[in-house]
Chain A
């Protein structure tokens, strides 16, 4: 009989569990990640290697072009013509004032700066989700700021600000101005058009639909041409609108149609109960819209409005076709300066413009994505 006493430990039985072996080297850490994401199959691995080689072939020369081989400071184009394998940042540095203000008089440029700073503060106030009293911010931005900008930029002799002719305006501030005017004035117009399109009155609806579809069906350039060549014909002879004002009117009319479609999307996503509730409270149409529907609808379309703004900001480059000097046009002009002319000037100018537009638009699109997530959070269950 084999009857071992219970207290004698059996040598072949484990008393404690063996510590777990580490996972195989290919399924943990960086190696696992690489196997999963870079070399999951033969084709994927080959693709990874080809793409890596492509990056190595493209990126270092590009970085060298922009940094090591670039000319950072020079009085004129001679040095840049001598160093043809690098960017000519000296050109950008020298022409920066022109890119920012165009030919706006040197002594009055503080007015542009001030307008830009006030505008930036108001925009942050308006777009910062946790800012207080955004209604005041909106009021200042949509009513106060346009007046302030007009007085500051154009000038008001009674206030001691000499008038600056719009022929002298140019550069980044004209691009920003065009986009901001487009948004500020197209929003109310777009809201009206959207309400018109959703109206139960057939004539109002038809007029709104025709306007929206007409504008959305034609290129922006033709709208600009129309504003530039036909507006003076359509108005009484003694009212010739300013050369800056004409494209701005075209921009607003163009942007309003796109804004209307965004706002319509917002209106459509408002629950029917909100309309019925407002009517049950005895609110009339304008109060129902102003107090109940539009505050909700417009909050919902903030991402869409920002998206429109990005598109409009990119489209402002087209205003140079009717003779406005926007940022891109100042770059084109500056590149023709005989003191600087050279093979690296155009690529440098375009690289700088691309960087400027990219930073601006990318930041806006990140904000848009953030707002989209934030607004969706309230509806998620």
Chain B
């Protein structure tokens, strides 16, 4: 770079451009002066603004050149290899099967359909992972701070093991060494014939809805709405009168009792289709495949280790005076945590917690290694291999992850703005 320390005055009319007094003129008129006056005009080389513009123009030119040469090369190479250019493959028949689909799909469906299947499978793992890793991580993080020595040590060992071994190793361990080692379908382990477990998956009863089952759904919604309403009322009353209400018991009763009542009132409209041994395999039931189980289990146990550390750091950052004050008010340790410490710690916990959630979604791409049909395995794997349209397929795949990340980052910024300490 040419930004040397010495003030280099460039030849030519540069000083005049700035409208200042030219250096030489000053020297000529003041011949008697002992020292030369400082020039108040800087040359273009030393003008930070001019330099800034130059750098930026150079950078833009370099980036345009890079993009142009990359796309030119890609065009030439793709033509030479007969790789399709557009997105025409999207509507072509995929011709491969997927062993777990949340929406109807067959090998006659299109590549576009396969994309949605993969996206939904990724979303399933992400949602399950987040829903399970959060409570586990919080529990372990709080356990690490427990006054019970043995509990704290076990939580510490758990965190260290999870954080210091690769996720892929853990996934392969759960998949190859644990779940694949389960008995084969003919020797399935069965729990009273209701739940079956073998090296293909966990088979749970498949509910069959008959007429009248919709009333159970209605009752469930009403029960949950009633529970939420009761909680609002109870909090209001407690704030006004100080009288607590048994929110937990009432909420459980409402949200479980009402559907149960509806179930019997409608004449038991739900029938359960249990899995049954049929030859070499099981028939009926809903199979939870071991690929899904291994992926979710591995992701949850791994991420919970990281969440635990985040929770611990957040809790420790809450001033000790807060828990002492809560103790002085007569709250026991559990309530102190729940009502005083954790709500304040959440402000610190949320940003890194969100990035762990994003990590779960991104790490679900390790599905490739154990054959779970997620977005990367289906789309960046099979579809890419079949269509050879590497650029388009990778652009779509990365675009999906990028969209999720940016959407979550945006939501987090909104949350942070709301949660920031309101200072006067």
Contacts and interface: CB of A to CB of B under 8 A. Distances in A.
Interface residues of A, number: 61
Contacts of A204: 55-56, 59
A221 interface: yes
A44 interface: yes
B256 interface: no
B176 interface: yes
A253 B134 CA distance: 31
A135 interface: no
Interface stretch (A117-125, A157-165, A211-219): A211-219
A357 B173 CA distance: 14
Contacts of B369: 320-321
Interface in B258-298: none
Nearest to A217: B405
A207 B172 contact: no
B401 A222 contact: yes
Interface stretch (B95-103, B147-155, B204-212, B219-227): B147-155
Interface in B159-173: 160-161, 163-169, 172-173
B77 interface: yes
B169 A354 contact: yes
B5 A283 contact: yes
B5 A230 contact: no
Contacts of A44: 147-148
Interface stretch (B112-120, B247-255, B391-399): B391-399
Interface stretch (B17-25, B68-76, B236-244, B341-349): B68-76
Contacts, number: 158
B177 interface: yes
Contacts of A207: 59, 63
B423 interface: no
B148 A222 contact: no
Nearest to B404: A217
A350 B60 CA distance: 49
Interface centre among B148, B166, B391 (most CB of A within 10 A): B166
A222 B379 CA distance: 11
Given A317-B166, A321-B368, A286 B1 contact: yes
B384 interface: yes
Contacts of A234: 70, 73-74
B176 A201 contact: no
A232 B77 contact: yes
B363 interface: yes
Contact of B365 (A219, A320, A365): A219
Interface stretch (A45-53, A92-100, A107-115): A45-53
B80 A237 contact: yes
B402 interface: yes
Interface centre among B52, B148, B391, B406 (most CB of A within 10 A): B148
B164 to A, nearest CB: 4
B315 to A, nearest CB: 18
Interface string A334-349: 0000000001001100
Nearest to B77: A233
B303 to A, nearest CB: 13
10 contacts: A201-B52, A218-B362, A218-B405, A222-B376, A222-B394, A229-B384, A237-B76, A283-B5, A287-B5, A317-B169
Question: Closest 7 CB pairs between A and B?
Answer: A217-B405, A37-B149, A361-B164, A314-B166, A203-B56, A219-B362, A229-B390
